[in-house]
Amino acid sequence: MSGSSTSIAGARLYHLALPMHRSFELSGGIIARKETLIVEVIDREGRSGWGEAPVLLDPIYTTETVAGAKAFLLRSVLPDLPSKVVPLDKLLGPNSLDEVMVTYHRFRGFQFAKCAVEAALCSLAAISKQVSLRTLLGGIRDEIEVGESIGIQPVEKVMQSIHEALNFGYKRIKVKITHGHDIDLVERIRREWPRLPLMVDANGEYRLEDVDVFHRFDRLSLMMIEQPLDYDDLIDHAVLQSQLQTPICLDESIVSLRHAEQALRIGACRIINIKPCRVGGPIQAKKIHDLCQQRGVPVWCGGMFESGIGRAVNLAIASLAGASCPSDMSPAADFYGYDLVARPHVIRQGKVAIPNDPGLGFAVDMGGIKRCLVDCVEFGECP
């Protein structure tokens, strides 16, 4: 096999139940149980690439669920993946989806599931080229600043969580908000920490009729207001942004490069949270990053309770030049009893070092996968 391409021999889909030891509440519901889907692709040389679909059990963030993503992968993607040739030199080209992932390019939606496959192919390409995923994607940072996200909980518990996060060295605090848990909370935080880099995340809870709430936020020196309006909206966000000084950051509304371009064109936001799993994978995430960099729009990388496999992809995206805001990068151990990678990333003085080993940058811990395995389905020739 030439150095410019590799052929897929087999693939595995692992369905895992992660041992979540603390819950997290956002406006759409409480995340108390976590399952995830891991895709492994194996080439003819016996090398493995890994990717994760960190989809939720219930559709409280997007319409995609574990059951739906699993069915899509089992029926529509993985059976045809073995024997595909991955053109390594064209992986990040303008037609990369057509070149690499023609199997599912014609299907609509299922961005989390597509991310798992795209990430697995990218990490396999990185291993084949003997470079890190960061290098493959064009990352330039050796370390990144990270922030902490604090879920909906009683005010005193929020204050305690902020104290703990700041003592741990986090550089930015994000608090989840909902009706009745917004202005008073943020005013209380501001009295305690007047200069704290602070943002709020509504997860689409509010409407344009709530504009007075956002005008009050305008007086509280926030870094940004994340996804204030509906999860699939752009137009109303543009109306709201035109009335605010505080930047709106879009999250759920940006599910593709096209959505990002439209949002910037109409002024729906001034910042974008790029989650590789939400937009279909690391290649798609990089395309959105590149667009925003051309337009002078800051980006950062959010998280979806990934294991270390998914976090590795996020770290690579957060290392890109335009990712200028602190990213959500809490270690998986904050929520789970153990991780799925050996020597997972750690936070030191509010920063995380970007791994530089070939592939994901982390070795996958098969013992961890076996401990939380629900089932595994193989396709093609798997050693």
Distance CA 338, CA 368 (A): 7
Of 176, 286, 287, 351, which is the active-site residue? 176
Active-site choice (34, 171, 174, 275): 275
- Give the residue carrying structure tokens 């996020």: 314
Angle (CA) 304-52-288 rounded to 5° is 65
Task: Measure the CA–CA gap between 338 and 58, rounded to whole angstroms.
Answer: 23
Helices (H), the chain: 66-72, 96-100, 102-105, 111-129, 133-137, 155-168, 183-192, 211-217, 235-241, 257-266, 276-279, 282-295, 308-318, 366-371
Question: Residue 275 catalytic?
Answer: yes
Q: Is 176 a catalytic residue?
A: yes
- Is residue 15 classed exposed, middle or buried when 0-12, 13-18 and 19+ CB atoms within 10 A define those classes? buried
CA distances from 88 to 39, 80, 358 (A): 19, 19, 14
**C-alpha to C-alpha distance for 215 and 338, rounded to whole angstroms:** 43
Q: For 361, phi and psi rounded to 5 degrees? A: 100, -15
Structure letter (DSSP) for residue 74:
I
Catalytic residues: 176, 275
